[in-house]
Amino acid sequence: MDFSGKTVWLVGASSGIGEALARALHEKGAHLILSARSEAPLVALRAELGDHHRVLCVDVADRESLSHAEASLGPGSLDAMITTAAIYDPGRVADIGLEAAEQLLIVNVMGTLAFAKAAPRLLRKGGMLGIFGSVAGYFGLPKGQFYSASKAAVINLAQTLRVEYAPQIDVRLISPGFVNTRLTQKNDFDMPFIIEPDEAASAILHGLQSNRFEVHFPKKLTYGLKVLQMLPYWASLRLTKRMN
C-alpha cells in the first residue's frame, strides 16, 4: 500500500515500535488515528506530528472501550488498521501464574481478535489489516515465556484471517525479532541482532508496501528460526534442549 493520503488507525502508537511506525507513516503522508490506553504520550505525539492526526484512546482488551472507539469511526472510513498492542511477562512457562497468563491471552490474543473483527466494518474494500506476531511465536523455546504461546496463537489467527477476509481485506502479519523498547528492556539475556524502533518501523513500512503476507526482520534472526520450525521434532527439540 502507498500510505500517502491514507487514513490509518494505529493502536500501540504511544510507545516502542508503534510510536516509531506512527512517525514513519506520518513521513509517508498518512492521516493517523493514534491509539493506546495512555492519552498523554498520544497527545504529545500528535502535537509533534500535527493536528491533522487524531488521538483516540482505546483498550483492546476491554470490549466496551473498543466498541466506543469503533463507533466514533465511520463505516468504511479507514484504509488501514494496525495493532501492536501486547503485553509481555518474561520468565519460564513453568513459573508463570495463571492470572498473569490469562491477562496475556486477553490482551495479546483476544485484543487482536477483537480488533480484527472490527475490520470488515471499518475498512474500505481492499483495506489493510496489520497484526503483530513475533518470532517468539515460531517455536516453543525453553524460557520462552507464555508470551511466545500467545504470539503463536496470533500468527495462526493471522494465517486464517488472511484467507477468510480475502479479497475484501489485505491481512498482513508483522513478525519482529528483538527491538529495543520498554518491552525488551525487561529481558536479562543477550538479544541477538537487536535493532532500534526506527529501524523496525522502516522494515515494516517497506514490507507493507510489498505484497508479502509476512513482514519479518531482521532476516539474520528470522531465517534461522524459520529453519528450526521446518526441522523434524527429533532434530529441533535436540537443538532447543541445548538452550535449556
Ligand X SMILES: NC(=O)c1ccc[n+]([C@@H]2O[C@H](COP(=O)([O-])OP(=O)(O)OC[C@H]3O[C@@H](n4cnc5c(N)ncnc54)[C@H](OP(=O)(O)O)[C@@H]3O)[C@@H](O)[C@H]2O)c1
In angstroms, what is the minimal distance from the CB of 78 to ligand X? Answer: 17
Amino acid residing at 191:
M
In angstroms, what is the minimal distance from the CB of 186 to ligand X? Answer: 10
User: Hey, is 54 helix, strand or coil?
Assistant: strand
Given the residues 147, 165, 223, 233, the one annotated as active site: 147
Residue of the chain from 7, 145, 148, 181 that contacts ligand X (CB under 6 A): 181
In angstroms, what is the minimal distance from the CB of 182 to ligand X? Answer: 5
Positions in 185-244 near ligand X (CB under 6 A): none
In angstroms, what is the minimal distance from the CB of 75 to ligand X? Answer: 22
Amino acid residing at 102:
E
CB closer to ligand X, 36 vs 55:
36
Q: Which of 11, 8, 18 is nearest to 182 (CA)?
A: 18
CB closer to ligand X, 124 vs 180:
180
- Residue 195: count other Cβ atoms within 10 Å of its Cβ: 18
Contact 109, 92 (CB under 8 A): no
- Across-strand partners of 78? 123
Q: Which of 63, 64, 3 is nearest to 31 (CA)?
A: 3
The residue number with the shortest CB distance to ligand X is 16
CB closer to ligand X, 38 vs 67:
38
Site string for ligand X, 27-56 (x = CB under 6 A): ---------xxx------------------
Active site residue 147: yes
User: Hey, is 61 helix, strand or coil?
Assistant: coil
Residue of the chain from 103, 156, 159, 184 that contacts ligand X (CB under 6 A): 184
Phi then psi for residue 171, to 5 deg, are: -85, 130
Positions in 13-32 near ligand X (CB under 6 A): 14-18
Positions in 65-84 near ligand X (CB under 6 A): 84
What percent of the residues of the chain are helix, what percent strand, and what percent coil, each to the nearest 5? 50, 15, 35
CB closer to ligand X, 124 vs 143:
143
Q: Which of 186, 13, 187 is nearest to 85 (CA)?
A: 13
Positions in 117-146 near ligand X (CB under 6 A): 132, 134
Q: How far apart are CA 50 and CA 167, in angstroms?
A: 33
- What residues line the site for ligand X (CB under 6 A)? 11-12, 14-18, 36-38, 58-61, 84-87, 107, 111, 132, 134, 176, 178-179, 181-184
